[in-house]
Amino acid sequence: MRRRLLLTLAVLLSIAGPVLLIGQGFRGRGRVYIEPNVPYDGRFTFARIRYTVYRRSGWEYDYPAMERHFMTMMEEVTTLRPHRLGSNIHTFDDPELLKYPIAYLSEPGGWYPNDAEAEGLRNYLTKGGFLIVDDFMLNDWSVFVRGMQKALPEARLERLDVTHPIYDSFFRVEKFTLHHPQADDLEGEFWGIYEDNDPSKRLMVVVNYNTDIGDFMEWSDQEFWPVNTTNDAYKLAINYLVYGMTH
Q: What is the pLDDT of residues 61-80, one digit of tens each?
A: 999 999 999 999 999 999 88
On the question of pLDDT at 16 being above 70, the answer is no
Residue 120 · residue 75 · CB < 8 Å: no
The closest alpha carbon to 45, from 247, 245, 246, belongs to 245
Q: How confident is the model at residue 7 (pLDDT cuts 50, 70, 90)?
A: very low
> Other CB atoms closer than 10 Å to residue 181's CB: what's the count?
21
- Residue range of the domain that includes 100: 2-246
- pLDDT winner (highest mean) among 11-25, 49-63, 64-78: 64-78
What pLDDT score does 19 carry? 31
SS3 14: helix
Comparing 13-17, 47-51, 140-144, 153-157, the range with the smallest average pLDDT is 13-17
Mean pLDDT of 11-17: 41
Give the model confidence (pLDDT) of 178-232 as tens digits.
999 988 889 999 999 999 999 999 999 999 999 999 999 999 988 888 999 999 9
CATH of the domain at 20: 3.40.50.12140
Angle at 226 between CA 220 and CA 232, to 5 degrees: 75
What pLDDT score does 100 carry? 97
| % the chain with pLDDT above 90 | 77
Phi, psi of 199 (to 5 degrees): -60, -15
Question: How many independent structural domains does the chain possess?
Answer: 1
DSSP string, 39-79: PP-SS---EEEP--BSSS--TTTTTTHHHHHHHHHHHHHSS
Largest distance between two CA atoms of the chain:
47
Give the model confidence (pLDDT) of 97-150 as tens digits.
999 999 999 999 999 999 999 999 999 999 999 999 999 999 999 999 999 999
Distance (Å, rounded) from C-alpha 126 to C-alpha 10?
Answer: 37
- Give residue 182's Cα distance to chain centre: 18
Residue 218 · residue 69 · CB < 8 Å: yes
More confident residue, 32 or 103: 103
In the chain, the amino acid numbered 214 is: G
What pLDDT score does 18 carry? 30
